[in-house]
Structure 1
Amino acid sequence: MSGPVIESLGIEGAWAVTPRQFGDDRGVFLESFRGDLLEPHVGHRLDVVQTNLSVSAAGVLRGLHYADIPPSQAKYVTCVSGAVLDVLVDIRVGSPTFGRSASVLLDDVDRRAVYVAEGLGHAFMSLAGGSAVMYLCSAPYAPGREHGVNPLDPELGIDWPSADRDGRPITPILSDKDRDAPTLSEARDAGLLPDYQAAQGFYASLRPNPDPK
């Protein structure tokens, strides 16, 4: 069986994974996660310690979320039903791609997934009613270490959809917490964002043969 197609999203630690699907008159089979094949790209095996599932109405916008390093929380995200526009943002202060975003359509057609490294911001907008998103996480949820940036911050320059996948108009539906989150500049000025060098050190510690430094 052929493995998935794994592509860089132009941001260190961000990958899109498109699985091979095998269908017949009974349905479809695919390997939705192959940690052994993802490892050479990421640099270490994803240690899954928590799995989350969210179900969202069309227009629901969740994020932009991140967690303190260490340990933060790496995520492998896929949409098992429906469709979402998944967005990753480099919010690591000092990164050569700081402020850059990448968008990937996750749906129940291509069944693509994204890998989100620790220290990156993550958000998605549901493009269909009942969109179900599955997350494989490297660390458990820790409320005191979780933060957010307002996903509608103009500085981020994210082009959120104005229509669902059937062409019907939608507008962003945010939680109070996400709506009240600081802008990217406000979070940076407050010292809330991850540091790129600290993230690099943490990534190195996860490799099979970490640098003794």
Structure 2
Amino acid sequence: MQVEETPLKDCFLVKPKIFEDHRGIFLETYHRQRFSELTGIDSEFVQDNQSVSSFGVLRGMHYQKGDFAQTKLVRVIYGKVLDVVADLRPDSPTFGKTYSAILDDENLHQLYIPKGFAHGFLTLSEKSVFAYKCDDYYKPGSEGGIIFNDPDLNINWDFPVKEMILSDKDKNLPTFKDVFK
């Protein structure tokens, strides 16, 4: 496993070692001890989630607040997405900054997202199967979000907004300024 720092504090791009031969490929998707040795971070994941989305589906930007904030390790099992995170930790030197990466079933990269980040992704393939580990359980009353096209976060989705497919909830999320008044 190779771990690269992103421009955002405590957020890492994880590149697994892929073993390939005439039968196909094998990779280790997570190794807690090795990840901890490479980053100094020891996360204990307690819940795995998976979603299936069609081309143009945008999910985000979501986060869990307070005592139920979640660290996530996200990856694409099938397809291709533009994965985006925003640092929402007011005391962080990268507060209000964003980072994006292409995650797909070819590069098999993963993104480690610490507590206090908003997360979203846009499906760029006909279909995507997106999976992620969380270090705390989902609590509906602790969910939060920021609108995907927030002018302060200025995320470059590089995709026509009129072709995006969003839930009603995601279309009506507050702005960054509304959350951090």
User: Could you state the TM-score of these two structures normalised by the residue count of structure 1?
Assistant: 0.81
Which residue pairs with 1:178 in the alignment? 170
- Name which of 80, 83, 103 aligns with 2:80: 83
Q: 2:128 aligns with which of 131, 143, 147?
A: 131
Is 1:62 aligned to 2:54, yes or no? no
Q: CA deviation at 1:161?
A: 2.6
Equivalence map 1:145-184=2 (5 Å): 145-162=142-159, 171-184=163-176
Which one is further off, 41-50 or 100-109?
41-50
What residue number does 1:31 align with? 28
Structure 1: tracts of 5 or more residues without a match: 164-168, 190-213
User: 65-74 vs 40-49, which deviates more?
Assistant: 40-49
Q: Given residue 27 of structure 1, which amino acid in structure 2 is its aligned partner?
A: G
How far residue 41 of structure 1 moved from its aligned partner, in angstroms, is 4.7
Cα–Cα, structure 1 residues 178 and 41, in superposed 2: closer, same or farther, change >3 Å? farther
Aligned to 1:142: 139
- The 2-side partners of 1:110 and 1:5 are apart by 13
- CA offsets 1:160-180 (integer angstroms, 9 cap, x no match): 0328xxxxx982211111110
1:93 aligns with 2:85: no
Residues 110-148 of structure 1: CA deviation (Å, up to 9, x unaligned): 100000001111111111122001111111110000100
Alpha-carbon spacing, 1:69–1:6, altered in 2? closer, same or farther (3 Å): same
SS in 2 for 1:32: coil
1:54-93 deviations in Å (ceiling 9; x for gaps): 0111111111111113231110000010000111111112
Q: Distance in 2 between matches of 1:23 and 1:170?
A: 40
User: What CA distance in whole angstroms lies between the structure 1 residues aligned with 2:67 and 2:37?
Assistant: 22
Alignment gaps of 5+ in structure 2: none
% identical aligned pairs: 38
SS class of match (1:155): coil
Distance 1:41 1:8 in 2: 10
- Paired residue for 1:50? 47
- Which structure's CA Rg is the greater one? 1
With the length of structure 2 as denominator, give the TM-score of the two structures: 0.94
* Paired position in structure 1 for 2:101: 104
Secondary structure of residue in 1 paired with 2:180:
helix
How far residue 26 of structure 1 moved from its aligned partner, in angstroms, is 0.8
Equivalent residue, structure 2, for 1:195: none
Computed over aligned residues only, the root mean square deviation of the Cα atoms, in angstroms, reads 1.6
Does structure 1 conserve the Cα–Cα contact (< 8 Å) formed by 2:9 and 2:92? no
Inter-partner Cα distance in structure 1 for 2:128 and 2:68? 29
**Structure 1 71/13 Cα, relative in aligned 2: closer, same or farther at 3 Å?**
farther
- Correspondence 1:113 to 2:110: yes
